[in-house]
Amino acid sequence: MRVPGTGRTIGGRAGDPFRPRRVAMLSVHTSPLDRPGGGDAGGMNVYVLHLAKQLARLDVEVEIFTRATSSRSVPVVEACPGVTVRHVETGPGRQPTKESLSARLHRFASAVLRVEAAHGRGHYDMVHSHYWLSGQVGGVVAEHWGVPLVHSMHTMAKVKNLALAAGDEPEPPAREAGEEGVVSASDLLIANADDEAHQLVRLYGADPDQVATVWPGVDLATFTPGRRQRARARLGLAPDAVVLLYAGRIQPLKAPDVLIRAAARLLAVRPQLRSRLLVPVVGGPSGNGLARPHGLVDLARELRVDDVVRFHPPVEQSVLADWYRAADLTVVPSYNESFGLVALESQACGTPVLASSVGGLRTAVADGVSGVLLADHEPDTWARTMGELIDDPARMRRLQSGAVAHASRFGWDATAASTLDAYAVACERRRAEFFEAVTCR
């Protein structure tokens, strides 16, 4: 794990005396048990659950606190030995309004504190919060317990507002201010890629020594290479189809419209491809995409490509792996990505990725080796590149091999080990501050 700003590499600290035994992990607005690909469930859900499971394998007990979104939510779920998910009641409704947000976060923090009180003082050694809402709760409970707060942003309002899709709504100033508060309250910030680390320093004023870069992982047991034709047979796809896959949440930030517009441009210059072209969109509306849940369907119809674009709801991870294996290319045209787990999952299955050259995608995709990165969102550019790749089987075979090799570097075991190193750094920082305060008295 690299700590930007110091040139320091830390690792191999399994015997560190400050290694946490129990971690309270906060994921306020979305449960890691929800299926990714629609609503609020996405890459962060995958991240939280897999990180917790790998930490448990390293003998660190993890309790994940998340907001109950239904009266049917089971209060306590054992996700696996060593990982407990607690669904906390904060009031009715899936998504809190700005007016009710403060009250709900207060109730959430109170519920977390009650759990610790039931366990006994000193039960948790560390708080790890995910996303800014969780960070606000994390600051309260970590201060109350006297333990370090480690925070992962996942997405940041200031970054999103600098790269808005056409027609997308900017993140409100209240979120920007909230994120600034979380940065100030955290002992350590975990960034998914160097781009995010630099943004934390440049846009939020984080101390470079406060930021550690830890790459997310990919489930290398689920997302594995396989025979394309077998995957297509299981999904009911034609053996000779040209499959350009989009997988993930449907919202302006993710830019699935760029793929649909590019497909229309591709067919305009290659009408003979229409009988073979297939553009599956596997996922559901999310975020600002909920304002026009059928917008992408309407766009495909308007551009007269509704015969080649097929919409599928979110699927289980094992089925998603088949979609990756069945595709010629997975297309990730996002305006911003803190990392891009979809890109990693696709590459682990042996399918190259055509992606935007933004944020963490510059790390998740090895340009020219495991996929291709594009600097703009012009449909003509994407259509031309897709056509060039389709026409060059030898290049595609090289990218397929490169995709598997590149993804193999990103196992969740490595992510957990580096995260544990980050926890040790946070403990050291907290201990140093304590002794400094005592010495100065």
325 annotated ligand binder: yes
- In this predicted structure, the answer to whether residue 428 has a pLDDT above a threshold of 60 is yes
120 appears as a binding residue in the annotation? no
Residue 40, marked binder = yes
**pLDDT at residue 36, as a whole number:** 65
Q: What is the pLDDT of residues 348-390, one digit of tens each?
A: 999 999 999 999 999 999 999 999 999 999 999 999 999 999 9
Band (429; pLDDT cuts 50, 70, 90): confident
Using one digit for the tens of pLDDT, what is the confidence trace for 106-134?
999 999 999 999 998 899 999 999 999 99
Q: Is residue 6 part of a domain?
A: no
Question: Residue 192, annotated ligand binder?
Answer: no
- The reported pLDDT for the residue numbered 11 is 39
For residue 269, pLDDT beyond 90: yes
| Mean pLDDT (the chain, rounded) | 89
Q: Are 189 and 239 in a shared domain?
A: no
In this prediction, residues 248-261 reach a mean pLDDT of 94
pLDDT for residue 423: 95
- Determine the pLDDT at residue 96: 57
Please indicate if the annotation marks 104 as binding a ligand.
no
Please indicate, yes or no, whether residues 177 and 39 belong to a single structural domain of this protein: yes
pLDDT score at 338: 87
Least confident of 35-49, 272-286, 334-348: 35-49
Q: Is 407 annotated as a binding residue?
A: no
433 plus 335 within the same structural domain: no
To the question of whether residue 378 is assigned a binding role by annotation, the answer is no
For residue 221, give every residue at least 6 positions away whose Cβ sits within 8 Å of its Cβ, in sequence order, or none.
none
Domain that holds residue 77: 22-217+412-440
Report how far residue 375's alpha carbon sits from residue 356's, in angstroms, rounded to the nearest whole number: 6
428 is in an annotated binding site: no
**144 belongs to an annotated ligand binding site:** no
286 or 326, higher pLDDT: 326
Residue 385 falls inside a structural domain: yes
- Which token pair is 285? 């509306």
Do 284 and 184 have their domain in common?
A: no
53 is in an annotated binding site: no
Q: What is the pLDDT of residues 176-231, one digit of tens each?
A: 999 999 999 999 999 999 999 999 999 999 999 999 999 999 999 999 999 999 99
Residues 278, 182 share a domain: no
pLDDT band of residue 93 (cuts 50, 70, 90) is low
194 and 278 in one domain?
Answer: no
Mean pLDDT of 248-262: 94
Strand ranges across the sheet with 8-9: 8-9, 2-3, 211-213, 188-191, 149-152, 126-130, 22-27, 61-67, 83-88, 76-80
Q: Are residues 298 and 151 in the same domain?
A: no
- Do residues 69 and 166 both lie within one domain? yes
Q: What is the 3-state secondary structure (H, E, C) of the chain?
A: CEECCCCEECCCCCCCCCCCCEEEEEECCCCCCCCCCECCECHHHHHHHHHHHHHHHCCCEEEEEEECCCCCCCCEEEEECCEEEEEECCCCCCCCCHHHHHHHHHHHHHHHHHHHHHHCCCCCCEEEEECHHHHHHHHHHHHHHCCCEEEECCCCHHHHHHCCCCCCCCCCHHHHHHHHHHHHHCCEEEECCHHHHHHHHHHHCCCHHHEEECCCCECCCCCCCCCHHHHHHHHCCCCCCEEEEEECCECHHHCHHHHHHHHHHHHHHCHHHCCCEEEEEECCECHHHHHCCCHHHHHHHHCCCCCCEEEECCCCHHHHHHHHHHCCEEEECCCCCCCCHHHHHHHHCCCCEEEECCCCHHHHCCECCCEEEECCCCHHHHHHHHHHHHCCHHHHHHHHHHHHHHHCCCEHHHHHHHHHHHHHHHHHHHHHHHHHHHHCC
Is 33 in the same domain as 173?
yes
pLDDT computed for residue 395 by the predictor: 98
393 versus 92: the higher-pLDDT residue is 393
47 has binding-site annotation = no
The position carrying tokens 């909920």 is 290
Which pLDDT does position 10 carry in this prediction? 37
Q: Is 107 annotated as a binding residue?
A: no
Rounded to two decimals, the pTM is 0.88
Q: Which residue has the higher pLDDT, 12 or 310?
A: 310
Look at residue 5 in the predicted model and tell me its pLDDT.
40
Asked whether residue 30 is marked as a ligand-binding residue, the answer is: no
Question: Is position 327 annotated in a ligand binding site?
Answer: yes
Is residue 397 assigned to a domain? Answer: yes
**Quick check: is 388 in a domain?**
yes
Q: Is residue 240, in this structure, part of any structural domain at all?
A: yes
Q: Count of domains in the chain? A: 2
- The answer to whether 355 and 373 are in contact (CB under 8 A) is yes
The share of the chain scoring above pLDDT 90, in percent, equals: 75
Has residue 252 been placed in a domain?
yes
Task: Let me know whether 199 and 267 are in one domain.
Answer: no
> pLDDT-based confidence at 435, cuts 50/70/90?
low
| Residue 248 annotated as part of some ligand binding site | no
Within a domain: 212: yes
Residues 354 and 430 reside in one and the same domain = no
Shared domain check, 240 and 191: no
Residue 204 known to bind ligand: no
Annotation-wise, does 41 bind a ligand? yes
Model confidence over 223-252: pLDDT tens digits?
999 999 999 999 999 999 999 999 998 989
Is 109 known as a binding-site position? no
pLDDT for res 95: 57
**Is residue 160 part of an annotated ligand binding site?**
no
Instruction: Say which CATH number the domain at 291 has.
Output: 3.40.50.2000
Highest mean pLDDT among 2-6, 350-354, 421-425, 430-434: 350-354
User: Would 180 be classed as within a structural domain?
Assistant: yes
* Mean local confidence (pLDDT), 81-98: 76
Q: Higher model confidence: residue 436 or residue 188?
A: 188
Determine whether the annotation assigns residue 87 to a binding site. Answer: no
